[in-house]
Amino acid sequence: MSSNTRKRPAPPPPKKPSPAAQTPKHHAVSQEDEFVDEDVYLDEDETLILEDEEILRDIEDRRAIACRLAKWTRPPLSDAYVSQSRSVVFQQLEIDYVIGESHKVLLPNSSGSAAIIRIFGVTSEGHSVCCHVHGFEPYFYISCPPGMGPDDISRFHQILEARMKEVNRNSKVPQYVRRIELLQKRSIMYYQQQTSHPFLKIVVALPTMVTSCRGILDRGIQIDGFGMKSFMTYESNVLFALRFMIDCNIVGGNWIEVPAGKYKKTAKNLSYCQLEFDCLYSDLISHAPEGEFSKMAPFRVLSFDIECAGRKGHFPEPNHDPVIQVANLVTLQGEDQPFIRNVMTLKSCSPIVGVDVMAFDTEREVLLAWRDFIREVDPDIIIGYNICKFDLPYLIERAETLGIAEFPMLGRIRNSRVRVKDTTFSSRQMGTRESKEVTIEGRVQFDLLQAMQRDYKLSSYSLNSVSAHFLSEQKEDVHHSIISDLQNGNAETRRRLAVYCLKDAYLPQRLLDKLMFIYNYVEMARVTGVPISFLLSRGQSIKVLSQLLRKSKQRGLVIPNVKQAGSEQGTYEGATVLEAKAGFYEKPIATLDFASLYPSIMMAYNLCYCTLVTPEDARKLNLPPECVNKTPSGETFVKSNLQKGILPEILEELITARKRAKADLKEAKDPLVKAVLDGRQLALKISANSVYGFTGATIGQLPCLEISSSVTSYGREMIEHTKKLVEDKFTMLGGYEHNAEVIYGDTDSVMVQFGVDNVEAAMNLGREAAEYISGTFIKPIKLEFEKVYYPYLLISKKRYAGLLWTKPEKFDKMDTKGIETVRRDNCLLVKNLVTECLHKILIDRDIPGAVQYVKNTISDLLMNRMDLSLLVITKGLTKTGDDYEVKAAHVELAERMRKRDAATAPNVGDRVPYVIIKAAKGAKAYEKSEDPIYVLENNIPIDPQYYLENQISKPLLRIFEPILKNASRELLHGSHTRSISISTPSNSGIMRFAKKQLTCIGCKALISDKERTLCSHCKGREAELYCKTVVNVSEQEMLFGRLWTQCQDCQGSLHQDVLCTSRDCPIFYRRKKAQKDMAEAKLQLDRWSF
């Protein structure tokens, strides 16, 4: 059934011979900073409505499910809504647009296709809203060539229209270029003395035509009387939805009011929303998110997770492996418990208390039940863990494989299928990431994995380690090879799986609540003015651009669409770092910090696009020197008395708003209000800090290295200036007890040793210095004193550790930077060792103790007494072996494991844990990697030298070199490094022919079978040797019991075996090891029973 071709009766958008028409999936590479609109045509084919009704009848057939689902529909509309006698006030969450026929009643003068803005949202009563906004047209600007009169403009219009017609042959619009208006505007770039220039506003029919029109103008156009002329376009890269929001003063997630009488109920409902109506864009009232309108509507948040039955040795693939379970939890925003919990399973599943279990016989039914569920429950936000890259595309591709054409109708628009496309997202902040973009119309997707990667630096982003980190809970992890076994078992084993699946669906919701993502992201959207969906899927720059566009609009400025210059513009000198005087400081070190340094500099020196004076202008304009600032990097900017910069103004607003939010936060009592305010102040802070980066992003929207290099040059100057002032003023000559010394300075902080012994005195001096130096800077640049480090271990630049004090009585915490306490490539041993050493050095002030601890650890390592789980190194397998250029240990191991057992071998995307084992002489490092479980099971000796040399020595030396004279000799060589030699693997070669014989437990001498335990010499030490054996057994038993019962606690069931194979869990290997050690210890003990 080629329903897809039926789906788009309208000719697909031009230029692309739309692959979207063939399949709901197509390929597009979009970079962070390339914003492209995509026109989607509205379906109004009658046959499709029929098809839709057929589907609904289909639901009728499955009345049982329908009944279950109906319970969860949204609250019914009140009479006032039904009669349209009241205005509709709702919080919008998603804004997009669609191409449809222009509205005949609202816009009697237009005809043909037009872009219709759709706003989706929720009222405070919980009704879903779909608002079709008409009359807003896409446009952009060009600079009007001098001498162009009204006649020239209309001629220009005709020429442009003709050119557009050639390019957009397929569009069925009566007119491509609707009109061209002459306006007085000014470019944001460079300081100009004239207040305005003539600009042409070119209004086109459809959003995508902005791009094609820009292309024509870029390439050049022949105009009579002006010749061939190419134009620089302005604001031609603004997404249509964002353009609409800017022009209507709508910010992401704010409340919108459509007054009664100004809206018309749609003749035919195109969406599943309760309130669906048409209105004119000029009738919308956008409420600023303040006071009453800072609240949140009761959105429905769906958190879900799917399970698939993979084949042995393969990660599940949608064209082979069935979806067997889908678990769903729906929570109303602001409530702490989900009000719907259910799970849909393939084949029978035993009931679960408090959960609605829906079992189906076919996969088709499971998928369709989920679709019906989505439609009935109508979630506003869909969350999950890795849903964007895995769960959602999987469901859609699976449905495609099974030929269920009616499945991917998950959006709020009837008949509209979900679209999946592969995207590559690259950003300076996060590097390049491949991902999939799934468009579900009207519903916001929030992938917790993306949010985590964006907002937090963690050593691992598995759901397990994320929940361990934020919720302090270990998550049970069932290996995908076991999932199929559970599925193929009975109703009970499937229930087991369902419980696991539900847990995985609940964790994202709990993370969302715990980290207040909804509040923080909605506030971020409100502050920066972009839709919420942009925040996760796009980079930082759109947020700044949105603010810049809003501000420019107020001032009559327009922003040029600068050609992506690549890195041609070159780079500039970054922040300065004062040379670190490495050492261990046992006197308090005061830290002087510049409060938001870069924003302050931009404000203080009025740095902006519109205040920058070009070198030619600087010569020509002859500006009086008191009106300009010459930056240390040699640029000229005018002062605010001539022209106030836009960026400084944005920053000022952000910073004042943050101050206000912080003040309100202090006053606030209600926890929900607090959450909103805290989210807001955080959003404001992040936004203020991203402005500088925006100007320096060379592949960004509007790079201006003159600004960014000026900012950093001022920053450098200030650090130097501070150093000089401190060292000049705080001297014995100046009447102080000691000479102050600046030992280190980073981007925005300076570390000073005032020479005093106690923290309080250092704090007083720090405060005095901050105040004194602040006085020498232009406002609002301010040096603040916040903390003292005491003691302080400075290793090198960007690497230090110290105890942090903010009050003189007690230190707050141990603060480290750039030291191996969190690196994820290292084994746990390194982390533990470093943390323990720092603890001993800084808190216990026991350097000999730290040295002894290191020696003991090294000795334990060399004597093979180290717990294996401490030695596990983990690396992500991103490609298969052939794709790697150099052989890497974890890749080689993955290959070897695949040969051993394809079912449990790691796949691309998994993290591969390994240990380095002793191997034959001359073996390459990558050949020495081995699976920790395999090592445990086969008693393979590890290679302690590798760990000593390649893992722990560097971090240790870094810490100890400032402290000890001969750190390397002292720590890494010496009596404690005399190791017991461990024989290399003995289960190979000649050893296979050796006969095993009992040895005396006491002295390892060979004994006969008759003697059983001890040789005649050791007989006298029987009691002692027995004690030794039995104490070992008792220790193993204790460990065994505690480890395995912990896993029972974690999985939340006593009567079922633990299945978890979470390699991220700190006790996973220990648990396995305990099992094996226990068996061995017991065997030893049994030799005594006679």
Please report how close the Cβ of residue 468 comes to another protein at its closest, in angstroms.
7
Q: Which is nearer to another protein, 352 or 902 (CB)?
A: 352
Please report how close the Cβ of residue 348 comes to another protein at its closest, in angstroms.
12
Place of tokens 């505690």: 1042
Q: Which is nearer to another protein, 50 or 1038 (CB)?
A: 1038
Q: Which is nearer to another protein, 634 or 1052 (CB)?
A: 1052
Please report how close the Cβ of residue 1038 comes to another protein at its closest, in angstroms.
5
CA 78 to CA 92: how far, in whole Å? 20
* Residue count (the chain): 1090
Please report how close the Cβ of residue 476 comes to another protein at its closest, in angstroms.
13
Residue ranges with strand state E in 797-884: 799-805, 813-817, 873-876
Report angle CA 815, 820, 824 to the nearest 5 degrees: 120
Q: Which is nearer to another protein, 180 or 1065 (CB)?
A: 1065
Please report how close the Cβ of residue 980 comes to another protein at its closest, in angstroms.
10
What DSSP string describes 880-938?
-GGG-SS--HHHHHHHHHHHH-TTTS--TTSEEEEEEB--STT--GGGGEE-HHHHHHH
Please report how close the Cβ of residue 1054 comes to another protein at its closest, in angstroms.
4
Q: For residues 557 and 188, is the Cβ–Cβ distance under 8 A?
A: yes
798-to-817, 888, 1088 alpha-carbon distances in Å: 7, 29, 59
Please report how close the Cβ of residue 67 comes to another protein at its closest, in angstroms.
16
Residue type, 413: I
Three-state SS for 987? coil
Please report how close the Cβ of residue 352 comes to another protein at its closest, in angstroms.
6
Angle subtended by helix axes 1068-1086 and 1022-1051, to nearest 10: 150
494's CB contacts (< 8 A; 6+ apart) are 324, 325, 345, 347, 348, 349, 350, 486, 487
Q: Which is nearer to another protein, 161 or 356 (CB)?
A: 356
Q: Which is nearer to another protein, 22 or 459 (CB)?
A: 459
CA 106 to CA 278: how far, in whole Å? 8
Q: Which is nearer to another protein, 545 or 942 (CB)?
A: 942
Residue type, 317: E
Three-state SS for 360? strand
Residue type, 861: L
Please report how close the Cβ of residue 510 comes to another protein at its closest, in angstroms.
16
Q: Which is nearer to another protein, 693 or 849 (CB)?
A: 849
Q: Which is nearer to another protein, 4 or 859 (CB)?
A: 859
Please report how close the Cβ of residue 1035 comes to another protein at its closest, in angstroms.
7
**627 phi and psi, to 5 degrees?**
-100, -5
CA 87 to CA 279: how far, in whole Å? 12
**711 phi and psi, to 5 degrees?**
-60, -50
Please report how close the Cβ of residue 1012 comes to another protein at its closest, in angstroms.
11
Q: For residues 55 and 406, is the Cβ–Cβ distance under 8 A?
A: yes
Q: Which is nearer to another protein, 124 or 1032 (CB)?
A: 1032
Q: Which is nearer to another protein, 160 or 1059 (CB)?
A: 1059
Please report how close the Cβ of residue 32 comes to another protein at its closest, in angstroms.
35
808's CB contacts (< 8 A; 6+ apart) are 758, 759, 760, 763
Please report how close the Cβ of residue 765 comes to another protein at its closest, in angstroms.
27
Q: Which is nearer to another protein, 643 or 869 (CB)?
A: 869
Please report how close the Cβ of residue 123 comes to another protein at its closest, in angstroms.
27
Place of tokens 């040793």: 753
Per-residue tokens: 354: 């408090």
Q: Which is nearer to another protein, 574 or 1052 (CB)?
A: 1052
405-to-56, 398, 436, 443, 576 alpha-carbon distances in Å: 14, 11, 20, 21, 59
CA 121 to CA 127: how far, in whole Å? 8
Please report how close the Cβ of residue 863 comes to another protein at its closest, in angstroms.
9
Q: Which is nearer to another protein, 339 or 362 (CB)?
A: 339
Q: Which is nearer to another protein, 313 or 1052 (CB)?
A: 1052
CB atoms within 10 A of CB 774: 19
390-to-38, 413, 499, 668, 1062 alpha-carbon distances in Å: 24, 23, 20, 40, 19
Please report how close the Cβ of residue 1006 comes to another protein at its closest, in angstroms.
19
Report angle CA 339, 345, 350 to the nearest 5 degrees: 85
Give one word for 116, left, alpha or beta, with left for phi > 0 and alpha for psi -120 to 50: beta
Report angle CA 995, 1001, 1004 to the nearest 5 degrees: 55
CA 964 to CA 792: how far, in whole Å? 15
Q: Which is nearer to another protein, 317 or 836 (CB)?
A: 836
CB atoms within 10 A of CB 594: 24
Q: Which is nearer to another protein, 75 or 351 (CB)?
A: 351
Per-residue tokens: 630: 């010459």
Q: For residues 631 and 605, is the Cβ–Cβ distance under 8 A?
A: yes
Please report how close the Cβ of residue 254 comes to another protein at its closest, in angstroms.
35
Residues lying near another protein in the complex (CB under 8 A) are found at 350-354, 468, 474, 492, 495, 499, 835-836, 839, 843, 865, 869, 1021-1024, 1026-1028, 1030-1035, 1037-1038, 1040-1046, 1048-1049, 1052-1058, 1065-1067, 1070, 1075, 1078-1079, 1082-1083, 1085, 1088-1089
CA 549 to CA 603: how far, in whole Å? 19
Burial of 722 (0-12, 13-18, 19+ CB in 10 A): buried
Please report how close the Cβ of residue 972 comes to another protein at its closest, in angstroms.
22
Q: H/E element holding 764? A: helix 759-774
Q: Which is nearer to another protein, 158 or 1045 (CB)?
A: 1045
